[in-house]
Structure 1
Amino acid sequence: MIAALPRRLLPEGLALPLAGLTLALSLVMLASLLLGAGEVTPTRALAVLAGGGDDEARFVVGSLRLPRTLVGAAVGLALGMAGALLQAVSRNPLAEPGLLGVSAGAAFAVALALWLGASATTLRVAVAQAGALAGCLCVLGVARLRGLGNDPIRLVLAGAAFSALLAALTSLLLLFDQRAADEIRFWVIGSLSGRRLADLLAVLPSLALALAITLLVARPLAALALGERVASGLGHRPGRVRGLVVLAVALLVGAATAIAGPIAFVGLVVPFAARALAGPDIRRTLWLCLPLGPLMVIGADILSRLLVAPSELSLGVLTALCGAPVLILVVRARRLPSL
């Protein structure tokens, strides 16, 4: 199916890597259905997938593990694509939604909405996307400040300060309303536990719109990497391209944060790995982010269930363990990866 995609959509030479990553993602999703911290063993779960199994196993696989796996795939896709877009538009390999405060903006907006009494999932998604949009605008505004946007480390430090401020404000909300404190505390740690298919259905329109915008801006972004004058000479409008990218990132990060909470480093690791496999062309990077994002999030979620079974680790802890070495590698490199 991948090989049959039109040549104008799929860059040359990507069919084989995409096929390999898609196969790896399929195996990881299968493992997510078979493995867990509870008493349903892989053998019992496999019997359910074969059409049999007992009632308990069918409930665990169909009502708990399947929604969790599908939500994890959507979250990974959204954060991986958002990271690639944000890095491309800011021309900064450290521009990651979790590091720069975009996820924190979405998280604070949802926490504030929950504190004010909101509980509907659709409202939560809209609020998270509004918070992500505000955070994204702040990040790009800072990136365009003279002397700061060209320094990746200083930009990350500014983003870390912004994230810390929003985290402090979120913690402050917990002190004012004990009724909402438990729900906010459970949500802001970042997890796929207890997620339902309804959560995924609530964000599908946003994800579809964001992917359509990404398809629209992929070629102009590749031209923008050569410089604004070159992009303008090729008939593109840099300002409009940036505006569309900001909208797409807000939709993606807001949707992911609304259904799974703030999860850092996915938007850093996934584009980094995609560029290592496919080179600096943003169009090739975006294609590889499609399977790499879900692969990372679902893989980390499986480990979160198994490492301290029968309890679970926070998903954000596992993604941080994967992302911190990549962050150190990029910072210590003599030359930052070309974008």
Structure 2
Amino acid sequence: MKTPNPRIKVDGPADFAQLLPFLVGHQPEDCIALHGRIATQSGTGPTMTLSLPDDPATWQATAAAFAAKFTRITHEHGHPDILDIVVFLCRTPRPGQSAEETAEALRPLADYFVDAFTDLGRAPVMSTIALVDNRWWAYECHLPGCCEGEPLPSPDDPTSVAAQLARHGWTPGRRTSEITQEFQPEEPEDAEDLRRALDNEGAAWAQYCANPSDDDTFLQGTHALVETAIRDFGAGANELAHDITARLIHGLNDEWARDHGLEHIEDDELPHARRLWAFLARRAIPPYEVAAVPALTLLAAVAWRQDDIPTARYALKRALTLDPDDDFADALHEAINHEVDATSLLPIARKAKAERHARAEQKGRA
């Protein structure tokens, strides 16, 4: 996580409410964010986010688990000097619900986090802030009418924290919904034709899994399609024929094929590889959402290489929601959380490419 310029003073809930997008690199929606203040001039430290569960019955357990995870990970990352915690609760009002009603509904969750950090006995909660409909509430303030639904300062206000950060080159990033739109399932106009193609290729994939051929015909076909699709997207293509799309969506679920996809993270291939993996993820429409996991993971790898951490995180979050046992997605997620350099993917990808070529040569000599 990057720390905003220390010359900008951040003091009180109004300032922290403006600061959150700059801390996490995007404008969060329907999420929980925990921020640790440390003993530096800026006071800004580590920040972690988690989707805000819809069901209030799960909130107490969520608060306990997330507070424990934040405490553990920040300690592992060398932040034992956290002074206190700021809890952010971000939510879009549901249909028929006002911003005031939304903020009031979140109050128990704020209390759960105060209790959770108290039970942990380390850093206490300094402030619990609700961000709803571009307004903020501070739950620890009990003065009538104070800190209740205050509008966030306009970015045009030169004295605002947001304006000061903007002058130093910081941007609040995109909204969560804009980030996830890149890879969420999206049915084309001829969705039934796409679904039939997914059915047909899904049957072929199932047959291959049941009786994998020694000559790797299916796998080699997927490799060839990946190469062609990468070239086509590099030449400006934005979509593929349904049968090719379906073949790639299913075929990338082979570990060797997915590793071949990872090869395309060299600098000159990143933009069109990203568009291809995002396209395939969007075309994994119901009931084939789980088949998108390899494409989502490859998209995350590319986004990470491009230093677009919010997209990488959200793509991996969706991948792990669809398949919690996917080892590759989990490994990428851990690497990003531990702030590993994304260029560490390059030797892995180059090794996979070398192994693939060696395997092909061995098959050719057989």
Q: Which has the higher helix share?
A: 1
Under TM normalisation by the shorter chain, which class is it?
Answer: under 0.3
TM-score (norm 1): 0.26
Q: Which has the higher strand share?
A: 2
